[in-house]
Amino acid sequence: MKIDSMIASVAEATQMPRKDVKKVVTALFDSIKKAVEAGEKVNVPGLGVFQQRERAAGERVNPKTGETVSVAAARFTVLKPSRSVLGLPKRQKAAGAKGAAAG
């Protein structure tokens, strides 16, 4: 789904004008982006958790040529999907788990 179809869907569901929905959706995504870039985890219930991860610099070997290539460190954003997005059942809390751990 592209942003335009998402905006149309929300506008239809809420009976709000598209231009107002576009402002809200844009502001929502901007706030998620800023929070993740600041190093915060952003938890969206029913969707998942957005967070930044880092990959250390290192070297990799090209399997075709055998040449060693330097790979720079990188930061990237990931989404860890919620169990409901993956189609998994909710986790059940273990009965008495708190008491068993303390005893």
Domain at 41-88, CATH class: few secondary structures
Decide: 78 and 50 in contact? Cβ < 8 Å: yes
Task: State pLDDT tens for residues 26-42.
Answer: 999 999 999 999 999 99
What are the extents of the domains in the chain? 1-37, 41-88
Task: State pLDDT tens for residues 33-81.
Answer: 999 999 999 999 989 999 999 999 999 998 999 999 999 999 999 999 9
Decide: 85 and 46 in contact? Cβ < 8 Å: yes
Q: Rounded CA gap, 73 and 54, in Å?
A: 7
